[in-house]
Amino acid sequence: MAESLGQKLEASKFGHWMQRFEGFMVVVGVVGPFATLPQLIKLFFTHSQHATGQSLLTWSLYAGLSLLWFIYGLIVGKLPIYVGNGLSMVLNLLMVLGILIHAGLTF
């Protein structure tokens, strides 16, 4: 049976190198989603009147896609994937909640 691209990559030198840095990638997966924090602070604390300028559809899609990646990460057992996307999902859902609270149903 033909080897999948993922299997070839994992067996390559690059794949072995990346596996050594899995702990670093977990940190990246945790830190990355927190890029949403400035948006959340503005939405809930400093500029909630601008909530109508946020796209409910976009943030909902981000949350849904993060959920799918979170589930995938659990299935394949890759800690960086499910940790990072689990956090992203929570923060994106907070954005959705904030938009709904401050602006209602918008696009």
Structure confidence at residue 7 as a pLDDT band (50, 70, 90): confident
Q: Where are the domains of the chain?
A: 65-107
pLDDT in tens, 22-72: 788 888 888 999 999 999 999 999 999 999 999 999 999 999 999 999 999
Residue 1 predicted with pLDDT over 70: no
- Going by pLDDT thresholds of 50, 70 and 90, the confidence category of residue 107 is confident
Residue 77 Ramachandran class (φ > 0 left, ψ -120 to 50 alpha, else beta)? left
> Does the pLDDT of residue 2 top 70, yes or no?
no
Cα 94 from Cα 43, distance rounded (Å): 10
Give me the pLDDT at residue 65, please.
98
Provide the pLDDT for residue 92.
97
